[in-house]
A and B are shown apart, each in its own frame.
Chain A
Amino acid sequence: MTAVRCIDICKTYTQGDVDIKALDHLSIEIEKGEFVCLMSPSGGGKTTLLNAIGGLDIPDSGEVWVGGQRIDQMSKGELAELRLANIGFVFQAYNLIPVLTARENVEFVMQVQGVRPAERHVKSMVLLEEVGLEGLEDRLPAEMSGGQQQRVAVARAIVSRPELVLADEPTANLDSHTAADLMELFVQLNEHHQTTFVIATHDQGVMRYAKRLVRMRDGRIVDDVQQNAA
């Protein structure tokens, strides 16, 4: 079953007088349960592709399908509903809402979804334990390390069992040990819950966890290979 399908999408940004093609007639299909790494040098288009798949950015042309729905023609409200119900995000930084505790951050999406408080509480506590943050649930983001914050973000991204998790440079601000732990966690979640992961990175350490490696350059896919993950 196809989780994501991009057909001939283009996206051009203008910086000053210069047009930059972030996505250049790019097409890709990602099956449900895949663990995909998008790799490119800076400016290669991986974050733009991730944003297009997540409905955060609309391509200038082409089609984007997520879970069988065409999203590039959806309204802002429809996109918000799609993200809320189907997509978990992990960003490079500024991942958490600073005025909410770790547990409240994890519960946030469920709360907007309307999940009952008792269920939210149980799910968030289980996930926080699973990502190794037991005992830190009442800490504010400012009271946690970068790695701990990323783990909270991961817990939040997967707590409502989205079909798709999009992670943009999730290990960029982490030391190698914490980054490895985080990737192990992703792999574990991918294998246990059949969650589709699409991770944008240029970290060689992250790539070895991917089952499918998509290399990009200048907004195009230059290489797309399956590999044996670590």
Chain B
Amino acid sequence: MRILIVLVRLAWRYLWRNHRRTIIMLGAIVLGTWAMIFMTALTRGMVDQMIADGISAIPGHVQVHGQGYLDDPSVTRSIPLSDEEFAARFADAGFSAWATRVRVPAVITSERESRGVTLLGIDPAAERDFSFVDYGAVDGRFLESPEDSGIVIGAKLADTLETRVGKRVVLMSQDPDNDIADRGFRVVGVFEANMQAFEEGFVFVGKATAQKMLRMGTATTEAVFVGDDYRNVEPVYDKVAAGVGDAVTVSRWTEVDTYLGTMLKTMDGFVLVWMIVIFLALSFGLVNTLVMAVFERVREIGLMLALGMKPAMILGQIIIESMMLLALGLLIGTALAWASIVPLEGGIDLSAVGEGMEMWGASSVLYPKLYLEDVVLANVVVLVLGFFASLSPAWRASRYEPVEAITKVG
């Protein structure tokens, strides 16, 4: 401990001996740290938004389907469990939300146009908390009950079909006998979503109304379960899998939407690679700074060795010096990143490039997300790699022969 105090004092003093060089290097570390954390927050925000939007369209963290439904989503592959059985098994399971629904492909026709859509027969009360539709912001009204006879469509689809609230449309799909099942609906609401694809692709009707139209009794085709964190769905998955048995398919959201699942993993890797690339750029400056710092005090290192400091202490001193510089840069850089991200958490409007964002599956408003684990990762990456980058100059300094170092000229 006493040695550590000596080394820390020496390292700190030497750090500020050439304060201009230290400040320049510190500036580079601060900028690098800020870039690491800020860009990671933007990336995380974009991916989170894409996944949140994706999950809200799927929706849910874990889903239950009849066997074969994911390959052929028809009413013939409904779930062999009633709503009552689901309620009995999962009412007290502690999920954030769960619901059963009817989800089948359908064709919607107005007086002027037809479009293929996904028909969602829902219990509006059960899905209010995780639906991608803000019930309160719907033009007209949202569905009021499973028996509601109206239909809610997206704004983009309404434009395409040249229809509006109060007008009538016809939905067509297939019943369990593969016969055409159709029904007329009055448009009671038009919703807006973060992504136009949702506005074009989904229509909502009451669950009971859909079951009646599709002549499927009280059966459903999809049960969805929402936990606390989309990154950690295993607890939800385990509970659902244990509760429903083998007669159905239980899937994590990453399995239902493999694109999003892969993207999440890819982005985690991308974040690490991004941090390492930034550090590598920084490391050149860091190593150069340390080499110069060692080179300009060869005689002093020789003196310290002559006075009785062991080579390991010299090694430690240089590494501590490097760690101090990095820690200070990380502290300021992290604070700066935090200070620049917090004001932007309300969202960055990217509507100017909204179409491009949508091609990526992201909305036109980007919400940066600062995760503690990303901040910790950035700091750990810099400190750990910085430690290794410091080893070479520190090792070189500790290997000096005292007599040669003391007599070194200039």
Docked-complex contact A77 and B311, CB < 8 angstroms: yes
Given the contacts A94-B299, A111-B2, A111-B6, A83 and B403 also touching, CB distance less than 8 Å: no
**Distance between Cα atoms of A108 and B310 in the complex (Å):** 14
Cα–Cα, bound, A109→B3 (Å): 11
A48 to B17, CA, bound (A): 32
Please, how many angstroms separate the alpha-carbon atoms of A99 and B303 in the complex? 13
A91 close to B3 (CB less than 8 A): no
**CB < 8 Å: which of B309, B313, B403 contacts A51?**
B403
Chain A's nearest CB lies how many Å from the CB of B351?
A: 56
Cβ of B70 < 8 Å from any Cβ of A?
A: no
A89 within 8 A of B: yes
User: Of residues 289 to 340 in B, which have CB atoms within 8 Å of A's CB atoms?
Assistant: 299-300, 303-313
The answer to whether A81 touches B17, judged by C-beta atoms less than 8 angstroms apart, is no
Q: How many residues of B contact A (CB 8 A)?
A: 25
A85 lies within 8 A of B308 (CB) = yes
Q: Does B13 make an interface contact (CB < 8 A)?
A: yes
Contact of A80 among B3, B6, B17, B310 (CB under 8 A): B310
Question: Contact at A112–B300, with CB atoms within 8 Å?
Answer: no
Contact indicator per residue, chain B 1-32, by CB within 8 Å of chain A (1) or not (0): 01101100010011001000000000000000
CB distance from B268 to the nearest CB of A (A): 44
Which partner residue on chain B sits nearest A96 by CB separation? B303
Given A97-B10, A99-B17: A84 in contact with B307 (beta carbons within 8 A): yes
* Residues of chain A from 91 to 122 with CB closer than 8 A to chain B in the complex: 91, 94-100, 108-109, 111-114
The answer, among B2, B299, B310, for a CB contact under 8 Å with A77, is B310
Ordered by A's residue number, 14 sampled pairs between the chains whose C-beta atoms are within 8 Å are: A54-B306, A56-B306, A77-B310, A80-B308, A81-B308, A83-B307, A85-B308, A89-B306, A94-B299, A96-B303, A97-B304, A100-B10, A112-B2, A112-B307
Q: Known pairs A80-B310, A95-B303, A108-B6. 19 more at Cβ < 8 A?
A: A51-B403, A56-B306, A76-B310, A80-B308, A80-B311, A83-B306, A84-B307, A84-B309, A89-B307, A91-B306, A97-B10, A98-B17, A99-B17, A109-B308, A111-B2, A112-B3, A112-B307, A112-B313, A114-B2
Q: What residues make up the interface of B, taking CB atoms closer than 8 Å to A?
A: 2-3, 5-6, 10, 13-14, 17, 299-300, 303-313, 401-403, 406
Closest 8 CB pairs of A and B: A84-B308, A99-B13, A56-B403, A83-B308, A80-B310, A57-B403, A94-B299, A114-B2
